[in-house]
Amino acid sequence: MTAVDAQAPQAARVAGDAGARNAVTWLAVRQMRRGALIVIVLVGGMSAMVATTYASTVGDAMDAAALAALAENPAIRTLFGQPVALDSAGGFTVWRTGTILAVLLGVWALLTATRITRGAEEAGHWDLLLAGTVPLPTVVMRHATVIVTAALLVGLITTAALTAAGTPPAGAALHGAGLALVGVFFAAAGTLAAQTFPSRAAASGATVALLGAGLLLRMIGDGVDALGWLCWLSPFGLAALSRPYHDNRVLPLVVLALAASAVLAITPATAARRDARGGWLAPRTGRAPRLRLLGSVPAFALRRLLRPLAGWTAGIGAYYLLIGLLAVSMTDFLAGNPRFADLAAQAGFAGLGSVEGYAAAMFALLAIPAGIFAAVHVATIAAAETDRWLTLIYAGPVTRLRLLTAEAATAATGAVALTATAGLATWIGAISIGAPLHLGAALAGAVNVLPIAALCLGAAIFALGWLPRAVALVGALPAAGGFLLQVIADSTGAPHWVSTLSPFTHLAAVPDAAPDWPGSAGMLITASVLSLAGAIGYQQRDLRT
């Protein structure tokens, strides 16, 4: 055999390996392109919108004394971060949207990482792929690289949007880099968790807990001067410490980049030392069977609800306990600074001058997690269907309508439990500092958001019947999309009919005002119609496999 003949098969194998690796990359792109596009539009568009409307909403109204009072208020710093450079469009944009957009990007990055890695592996979608020439670490890192690239693209688009809006390029670049690195960090953390835990749910839960801890460290570090060093331990705190449009500090972002790089660097080694569909934290073998709540379809739906509900309840309870503790500090500050109260009203938070008005404004935000919780729970039905976990169940005497009714009822029960927990936690925090907030008023304000959560549940059921690939996205639209629509409409002076499209427009400021019964009834009727249409579609369509 000649040298040329010997080299030909080797060259063919190298070319084949390269083609297989590229195919894995494009598979990852296909799995996350829609979500990435939505995040890019939201982050870049929201940043540009706030910067563009700065002159009309704020203008020259913030004098030095007002800015100093804002920076010294611990409640303001805890909830929204350290205010810097608010006398510029760029600095105001970072303070108003920076933390919110960073959390949005981080949540998307970590959930996408666990979905397209551990989720696909758990469902058996990688079995044939891993039987080929591409090893597991390469498959994992190709997927991680795609998510990291998307996060970096979000930062680049945000930089371009803020620069186009007229803010200084240096501050825009630093803010964009901070957002991107937060996304990169949580993409890396989600990918690493997917190698550590044997299930997607466990990996997602652990990474979400990490995100919540990071956000809590940022809030404590900004709110308590003596604990300011805690911000160096949080991705959100490091992004804020860069102080775009003011000091433009690069060192905190270097630390964040090194932390994200370290997590990414150990991921392939972690993947190489485990079996396919396995994890470092393997479940115990030989344990006694746990048969509780397995006797009926409703009981099993309740069993599936309890663990995620516990995590959501802990997070929401802790946040609204903090809201209650800050009630007096926030209301006293806004009562003495009416201009900031006006700005808060333009951002969708009116009536912050009193404790009940402050509670009502904060409870309006509760509609977002409560609605998303209900939508995500319904989305697990679509995921179980795709993973073929429902095939044998539906082959038996269990009808689709029966299972869907049980799951919808448990999702609604979970949303009620979340809102009640928020109301109780706010009341405990308020009375502990002597704020005049009654338990009945707190609970009324919390459960007042349930019609929006019902809209999310109805939209998710509708998507399950007619758009099963987008259940979580469609289900989250009434809450997350509705709130963004209201903020944009209020900030840009859009026509009144635009704001009426948002469910939040029909939500009264309870307990500061009486409930809007006609608006709530309209939302509940709409949710019922959506649920009925979704149930009909779910019964008629074929199962996804």
pLDDT number for residue 293: 79
Contact present, 159 and 176 (Cβ < 8 Å) = yes
Q: At what angle do helices 3-52 and 136-164 cross, to 10 degrees?
A: 30
pLDDT number for residue 225: 81
Asked if the bond preceding 298 is cis, omega within 30° of 0, the reply is no
Distance CA 387, CA 373 (A): 21
With tokens 């802790």, the residue in question is: 318
Q: Per-residue confidence at 330, pLDDT binned at 50, 70, 90?
A: confident
The three-class DSSP label of residue 357 is helix
Which structure tokens are listed for 286? 């030989």
Distance CA 227, CA 25 (A): 43
Q: How many CB atoms lie within 10 A of CB 12?
A: 10
Distance CA 236, CA 518 (A): 41
**Dihedral angle, C-alpha 93, 96, 97, 102, nearest 10 °:** 110
The three-class DSSP label of residue 473 is helix
User: Which contiguous run of DSSP H or E holds residue 279?
Assistant: none
Composition of the chain by helix, strand, coil, percent to 5: 80, 0, 20
The predicted-structure confidence for 496-533, as pLDDT tens digits, reads as follows: 888 899 999 999 999 989 999 999 999 999 999 999 99
pLDDT number for residue 124: 84
* pLDDT above 60 (res 3): no
With tokens 């991705």, the residue in question is: 235
* pLDDT above 90 (res 179): yes
pLDDT number for residue 416: 97
Which residues contact residue 324 at a Cβ distance below 8 angstroms, ignoring those fewer than 6 apart?
359, 425, 426, 427, 428, 429, 430, 431, 432, 433, 435, 437
Question: Which 8-state DSSP code applies to residue 61?
Answer: -
The predicted-structure confidence for 54-70, as pLDDT tens digits, reads as follows: 877 665 555 555 656 66
User: Which contiguous run of DSSP H or E holds residue 286?
Assistant: none
The predicted-structure confidence for 425-464, as pLDDT tens digits, reads as follows: 999 999 999 999 999 999 999 999 999 999 999 999 999 9
Half-sphere exposure of 193 (CA within 13 A, CB side): 28
With tokens 């371009």, the residue in question is: 160
Which structure tokens are listed for 186? 């949580």
* pLDDT above 60 (res 5): no
pLDDT number for residue 231: 94
Phi-psi category of 245—alpha, beta or left, where left has phi over 0 and alpha has psi -120 to 50?
A: left
Diameter over CA atoms, the chain = 92
Phi-psi category of 208—alpha, beta or left, where left has phi over 0 and alpha has psi -120 to 50?
A: alpha
The predicted-structure confidence for 268-297, as pLDDT tens digits, reads as follows: 999 998 888 777 776 666 667 777 878 888
Amino acid at the residue 432:
S
Distance CA 110, CA 276 (A): 21
* pLDDT above 70 (res 480): yes
CA distances from 96 to 47, 61, 83, 102 (A): 9, 16, 9, 12
Q: Per-residue confidence at 112, pLDDT binned at 50, 70, 90?
A: very high
Minimal CA–CA distance to 187: which of 142, 221, 121, 156? Answer: 142
- Which of 54-68, 137-151, 331-345, 370-384 comes out lowest in average pLDDT? 54-68
383 or 403: whose pLDDT is higher? 403
Distance CA 235, CA 238 (A): 5
Q: At what angle do helices 64-72 and 327-336 cross, to 10 degrees?
A: 170
pLDDT number for residue 145: 97
Compute CA 41 distance to the chain's CA centroid, rounded to the nearest angstrom: 15
pLDDT number for residue 67: 59
Q: Per-residue confidence at 1, pLDDT binned at 50, 70, 90?
A: very low
Portion of the chain with pLDDT greater than 90, in percent: 61
CA distances from 281 to 127, 197, 247, 262, 307 (A): 21, 5, 43, 21, 18
Distance CA 335, CA 321 (A): 22
- Which of 61-65, 80-84, 338-342 comes out lowest in average pLDDT? 61-65
Per residue, the 3-state secondary structure of 305-339, as one string, reads HHHHHHHHHHHHHHHHHHHHHCHHHHHHHHHHCHH
For the chain, first and last CA: distance in Å?
49
Which structure tokens are listed for 137? 């670490």
Contact present, 181 and 257 (Cβ < 8 Å) = yes
| E-state strands within 283-398 | none
Q: How many CB atoms lie within 10 A of CB 174?
A: 26
- The mean pLDDT value of the chain amounts to 88
